[in-house]
């Protein structure tokens, strides 16, 4: 079913016409509980992962105060990463380098990393692929021994919707999304999210503690207008005290390091 963002309650461009030049497309993913497959886009779902490619593991130091046994069954592998998002370009238009890739996979290590890209958060890993280049796929992914359960996404199918965002607090969609604008600086001082090569990096995926709340209820899809809080947090990931973790990419090259910022 389609999910549609309601018209904005304020005529932002009428108030601030200069924002028009800074419009960007964001793809609200609208994750909802479901049974995704390797052939579908998902949050926390199975990845189309080559059988002959080692499953990634984390090599960083961990802060173990919150670690619990990983909740799902599977072959236990120390420090195994877990799937966060699988995005087929056919579902999420605007992902970078469409002439070379049609599948984006994002994983993370579901533990706290004192020395991580965004300290005391899960640590991302990105794979750019073409789906047809993946021959035989792994039958099931290994799972880590322990995790911070706040970082284990509930398996969801996606209902992507393209919207227009502006660099303004009231004009950025809450919830899980791809592309769009950077977050609203508040818990840390602003800094340019720049690559070592000098390019400014761009938002790729936003992982967030819920789809909407009392302050952002105007973003609740019109198709679910009468459902109250039922779909407020299907993914059930908690970043910090309810924050947002945004993964960035370098537009110069896919193999430049990704950055992450918590807002």
84, 95, 106, 109: residue in contact with Zn ion (rule CB under 5 A): 109
In angstroms, what is the minimal distance from the CB of 175 to Zn ion? Answer: 25
**Contact range with Zn ion by CB under 5 A, out of 32-40, 213-221, 236-244, 246-254:** 246-254
Tell me how far, at minimum, the Cβ of 133 lies from Zn ion, in Å: 24
Q: How far is the CB of 159 from Zn ion (least distance, A)?
A: 31
The answer to whether 12 and 168 have CB atoms below 8 angstroms apart is yes
- For Zn ion, the binding residues in 177-216 under the rule CB under 5 A are 195, 197, 199
From the list 37-45, 108-116, 186-194, 204-212, the region that binds Zn ion by CB under 5 A is 108-116
118 lies in the site for Zn ion, by CB under 5 A: no
**Which stretch, 10-18, 50-58, 206-214, 225-233, contacts Zn ion (CB under 5 A)?**
50-58
Is position 252 an interface residue for Zn ion (rule: CB under 5 A)? Answer: yes
Give the C-alpha separation, 244 to 171, whole Å.
16
Which residues in 75-145 belong to E strands, given as ranges? 82-88, 103-109, 123-129
> Does residue 256 touch Zn ion according to CB under 5 A?
yes
Run of H or E residues at 62:
none
Q: Binding Zn ion by CB under 5 A: which of 26, 29, 43, 58? A: 58
Q: Which is nearer to Zn ion, 111 or 127 (CB)?
A: 111
Q: Which two tokens stand for residue 121?
A: 């958060």
Stretch that binds Zn ion, among 10-18, 32-40, 101-109, 162-170 (CB under 5 A): 101-109
Binding of Zn ion at residue 250 (CB under 5 A)? yes
Query: Is residue 156 involved in binding Zn ion (CB under 5 A)?
Result: no
Least distance (Å) between residue 116 CB and Zn ion: 8
By the rule CB under 5 A, 147 interacts with Zn ion: no
Go through 72-85 and write b for each residue having 16 or more CB atoms within 10 A of its CB, e for each that does not.
eeeeeeeebbbbbb
Are 122 and 245 a contacting pair, CB within 8 Å? yes
Contact range with Zn ion by CB under 5 A, out of 39-47, 58-66, 168-176, 180-188:
58-66
How many other CB atoms sit within 10 Å of the CB of residue 225?
A: 9
Q: Which residues bind Zn ion (CB under 5 A)?
A: 58, 60, 109, 111, 195, 197, 199, 250, 252, 256
């Amino acid at each position: 079913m389609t999910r549609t963002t309601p018209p904005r309650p304020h005529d932002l461009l009428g108030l601030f016409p200069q924002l028009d030049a800074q419009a960007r497309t964001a793809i609200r993913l609208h994750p909802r509980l479901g049974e995704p497959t390797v052939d579908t886009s998902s949050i926390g779902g199975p990845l189309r992962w080559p059988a002959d490619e080692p499953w990634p593991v984390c090599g960083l130091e961990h802060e173990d105060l919150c670690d619990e046994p990983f909740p799902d069954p599977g072959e236990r592998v120390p420090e195994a990463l877990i799937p966060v998002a699988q995005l087929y370009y056919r579902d999420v238009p605007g992902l970078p380098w469409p002439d070379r890739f049609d599948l984006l996979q994002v994983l993370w290590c579901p533990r706290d990393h004192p020395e991580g890209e965004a300290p005391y958060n899960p640590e991302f890993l990105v794979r750019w692929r073409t789906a047809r280049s993946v021959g035989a796929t792994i039958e099931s992914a290994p799972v880590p021994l322990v995790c911070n359960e706040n970082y284990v996404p509930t398996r969801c199918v996606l209902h992507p919707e393209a919207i227009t965002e502006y660099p303004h607090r009231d004009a950025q969609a809450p919830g899980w999304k791809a592309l769009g604008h950077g977050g609203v600086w508040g818990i840390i001082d602003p800094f340019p999210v720049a690559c070592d090569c000098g390019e400014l990096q761009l938002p790729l995926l936003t992982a967030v503690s819920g789809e909407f709340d009392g302050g952002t209820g105007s973003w609740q899809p019109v198709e679910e207008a009468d459902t109250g809080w039922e779909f407020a947090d299907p993914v059930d990931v908690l970043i910090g005290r309810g924050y947002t973790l945004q993964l960035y990419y370098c537009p110069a090259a896919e193999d430049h390091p990704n950055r992450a910022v918590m807002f």
